[in-house]
């Protein structure tokens, strides 16, 4: 509520005796002003409405109670517009599951899909395993996010081999240069967390055929990138692969990202 | 804009008969100087934050945030519910107003038993087994954006005796009732019937077309109609037709991938994005 004048401006005389009443009112009104040079805490009974030329907040500000926009849409209606930044938030984890439905068999190894969308082979080709790969749709990757883990889920659905196959198993994640198509590994070479990393590929560090076969149950190979894992779609595209050498059912890949902001995805 | 000015400097105030009145008036005057000018506007750099609780503030005019604004724990920015398009908006010039995205070319939807395999070059790519084979590649452009460009990365794998009828492609949208519309008008510029565009850029001779089997970028498809993406009513695809004619590659009907054009991936650019809306 706007305060009235102690005395309308056109009624102030050139000379007058100061009344304690007017001075008291001036003192009261001025005590209710918002101190914009030194700051302060204010609890208005009614909202302070600022129209006209509006306000500009020139330094970092905090909204403790939240902000609500007026529900309308149009070129001149209330809105929050972003000039060159994204709304940011504390790093949060998002998880996306990628189906191998966007893959196909490498070379002469056709693949098929079962009713759950898993990839497998049938007939004679099944014994040669899988060699599948796919590019991740750019629409599904959050630019600027950090890929924390990629969990490849698959199982060996045939007979247990007598020894760890020579070809073993290999999952791959790589980023590819959009201009040259050159690949870059997301983990340095070496063994970490029970995973052997080499170039863009990884496999479980197992020494017995029993551990390798895992009873035909679902295997979750967790690829944990330690380099080049901040998504940069302006420069790169990203792909996944899975290669095995015995009968295999590929189930999917779960991607876990640490996301710092709120972009399109 | 300017902060209030003092009417008189401190030394011009004189002592009244009431003890302390001079100090009181000086303080009142100081408060009006420190307060915001709600009529003419004013500029302030508060030495500590201005905290407004109670009934809060209403921004009835434009608020410009030159510094970052942080919400408190459990506090929100709530967008009005009056319209389905009430989202945070992106000004033109924001990097997010345009997106360039990779386009996987698998899986392929074959028109007939012609495409089914990843190529021998890598297992991200597709390749044909028959000349003239046609395939549909689903794409996911940014909803409500304008699709401004799409191109394919490819390479030839066959030694041609002469120039074939070139592989071609177009971008289409398909309505819920199955109506297919090309995103470029037919026979306009380099575009042919039904909005198709030749795939290769280099077409002067066989050597230029094959580029020794190196990876090439296709011509860029620049939609000139139906190019505002509306995923609520349409699905979007690349419609690719393999090379054909007397000098086309030799069909390969074995399980070995074919000898046609190796389509590796695509890229598309979605521009004029104005909303930060879920995709």
CA-nearest residue of chain B to A82?
B90
Exposure pattern of B31-69 as b/e (b: 16+ CB <10 Å)? bbbbbbbeeebbebeeeeebebeeebbebeeebebeeee
Residue B145's Cβ-count burial label (10 Å; 0-12, 13-18, 19+) is buried
Using a CB-CB cut-off of 8 Å, the residues of chain B touching A128 are none
Distance CA B118, CA B128 (A): 9
User: Closest Cα of chain A to B96: distance in Å?
Assistant: 8
Q: Do B47 and A38 touch (CB under 8 A)?
A: yes
Quickly count: other Cβ atoms within 10 Å of residue B217's Cβ. 15
Judged by CB atoms within 8 Å, which residues 170-209 of B form the interface with A? none
Residues in Cβ contact with A31 at an 8 Å cutoff, skipping those fewer than 6 apart:
B31
Tell whether omega for the bond before B107 is within 30 degrees of 0, i.e. cis. yes
Using a CB-CB cut-off of 8 Å, the residues of chain B touching A68 are 77-80
In this prediction, residue B117 carries a pLDDT of: 55
State pLDDT tens for residues A28-81: 788 888 888 888 888 888 888 888 888 888 888 888 887 777 655 454 566 788
Using a CB-CB cut-off of 8 Å, the residues of chain B touching A240 are none
Nearest to B262 by CA among B112, B100, B113, B123: B123
The single residue listed with the structure tokens 């104005």 is B274
Q: What's the sign of the alpha-carbon dihedral B259, A180, B149, B109?
A: positive
User: Closest Cα of chain B to A216: distance in Å?
Assistant: 26
The highest-confidence range among A58-67, A93-102, B236-245, by mean pLDDT, is: B236-245
CA-nearest residue of chain A to B145?
A264
User: Closest Cα of chain B to A105: distance in Å?
Assistant: 6
Using a CB-CB cut-off of 8 Å, the residues of chain A touching B3 are 37
A201 forms beta bridges with A172, A198
State pLDDT tens for residues A194-233: 999 999 999 999 999 999 999 999 999 999 999 999 999 9
Strands A146-155 and A219-223: antiparallel
Residues in Cβ contact with B226 at an 8 Å cutoff, skipping those fewer than 6 apart:
B173, B181, B182, B183
In this prediction, residue B79 carries a pLDDT of: 76
User: Closest Cα of chain A to B204: distance in Å?
Assistant: 24
Using a CB-CB cut-off of 8 Å, the residues of chain B touching A102 are 104, 106-107
* Reported ipTM exceeds the 0.90 cut: no
**B70 and A62 Cβ atoms separated by less than 8 Å:** yes
Average pLDDT, chain A: 84
Judged by CB atoms within 8 Å, which residues 177-236 of A form the interface with B? 178, 181, 233-234
Distance CA A223, CA A207 (A): 19
Using a CB-CB cut-off of 8 Å, the residues of chain B touching A261 are none
In this prediction, residue B20 carries a pLDDT of: 66
Average pLDDT, chain B: 85
Mutation choice for B interface testing from A12, A17, A46, A64 by most B CBs within 10 A:
A64
Residue ranges of the alpha helices (H) in A125-200?
Answer: none
Instruction: Please report which confidence band the pLDDT of residue B2 belongs to, taking 50, 70 and 90 as the band edges.
Output: very low
Q: Do B257 and A59 touch (CB under 8 A)?
A: no
Q: State the angle between helix axes of A20-31 and B21-34 in degrees (0 to 180), rounded to the nearest 10.
A: 40
**Joined tokens for residue B104:** 């996987």
User: Closest Cα of chain A to B273: distance in Å?
Assistant: 10
Q: Do A138 and B103 touch (CB under 8 A)?
A: yes
Distance CA B275, CA B89 (A): 4
Using a CB-CB cut-off of 8 Å, the residues of chain A touching B59 are 50, 54-55, 78
User: Closest Cα of chain A to B67: distance in Å?
Assistant: 4
Using a CB-CB cut-off of 8 Å, the residues of chain A touching B152 are none
Nearest to B273 by CA among B142, B141, B150: B142
In this prediction, residue B133 carries a pLDDT of: 87
pTM for the model stands at 0.83
Mutation choice for B interface testing from A12, A19, A65, A242 by most B CBs within 10 A:
A65
User: Closest Cα of chain B to A161: distance in Å?
Assistant: 26
**B198 and B166 Cβ atoms separated by less than 8 Å:** yes
């Amino acid at each position: 509520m706007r305060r009235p004048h102690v005395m309308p401006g056109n009624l102030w005389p050139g000379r007058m005796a100061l009344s304690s009443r007017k001075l008291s009112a001036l003192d009261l009104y001025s005590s209710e002003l918002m101190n914009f040079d030194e700051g302060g805490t204010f609890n208005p009974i009614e909202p302070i409405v600022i129209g006209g030329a509006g306000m500009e907040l020139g330094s970092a500000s905090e909204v403790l109670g939240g902000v609500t926009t007026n529900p309308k849409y149009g070129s001149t209606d209330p809105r929050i517009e972003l000039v060159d930044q994204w709304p940011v938030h504390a790093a949060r984890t998002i998880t996306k599951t990628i189906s191998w439905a966007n893959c196909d068999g490498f070379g002469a190894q056709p693949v098929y899909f079962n009713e759950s969308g898993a990839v497998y082979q049938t007939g004679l080709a099944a014994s040669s395993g899988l060699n599948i790969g796919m590019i991740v749709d750019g629409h599904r990757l959050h630019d600027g996010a950090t890929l924390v883990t990629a969990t490849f889920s698959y199982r060996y659905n045939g007979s247990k081999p007598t020894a760890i196959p020579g070809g073993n198993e290999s999952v791959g994640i790589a980023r590819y240069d959009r201009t040259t198509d050159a690949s870059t590994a997301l983990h340095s070479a070496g063994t970490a967390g029970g995973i052997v990393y080499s170039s863009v590929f990884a496999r479980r560090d197992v020494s017995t055929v029993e551990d390798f076969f895992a009873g035909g149950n679902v295997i979750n190979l967790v690829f944990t990138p330690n380099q080049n894992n901040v998504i940069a779609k302006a420069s790169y595209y990203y792909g996944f692969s899975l290669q095995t050498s015995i009968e295999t059912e590929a189930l999917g890949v779960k991607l876990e990202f640490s996301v710092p902001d709120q972009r399109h995805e | 804009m300017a902060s209030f000015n003092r009417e008189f400097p401190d030394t011009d105030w004189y002592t009244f008969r009431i003890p302390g009145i001079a100090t009181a008036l000086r303080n009142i005057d100081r408060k009006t100087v420190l307060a915001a000018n709600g009529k003419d506007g004013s500029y302030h750099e508060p030495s500590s934050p201005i905290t407004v609780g109670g009934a809060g503030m209403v921004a009835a005019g434009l608020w410009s945030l030159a510094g970052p604004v942080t919400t408190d724990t459990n506090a929100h920015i709530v967008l009005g519910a009056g319209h389905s398009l009430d989202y945070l908006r992106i000004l033109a010039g924001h990097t997010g107003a345009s997106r360039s995205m990779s386009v996987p070319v698998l899986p392929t939807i074959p028109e007939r038993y012609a495409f089914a395999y990843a190529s021998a070059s890598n297992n991200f790519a597709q390749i044909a087994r028959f000349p003239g084979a046609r395939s549909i590649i689903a794409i996911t452009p940014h909803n409500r954006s304008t699709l401004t460009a799409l191109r394919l990365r490819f390479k030839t794998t066959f030694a041609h005796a002469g120039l074939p009828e070139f592989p071609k492609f177009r971008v289409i949208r398909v309505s819920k009732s199955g109506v297919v519309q090309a995103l470029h008008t037919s026979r306009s510029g380099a575009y042919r019937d039904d909005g198709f565009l030749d795939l290769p850029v280099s077409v002067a001779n066989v050597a230029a077309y094959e580029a020794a089997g190196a990876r090439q970028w296709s011509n860029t498809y620049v939609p000139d109609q139906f190019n505002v993406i509306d995923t609520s009513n349409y699905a979007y695809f690349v419609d690719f037709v393999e090379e054909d004619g007397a000098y086309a590659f030799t069909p390969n009907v074995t399980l070995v991938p074919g000898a046609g054009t190796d389509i590796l991936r695509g890229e598309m650019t979605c521009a004029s994005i104005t909303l930060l809306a879920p995709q």
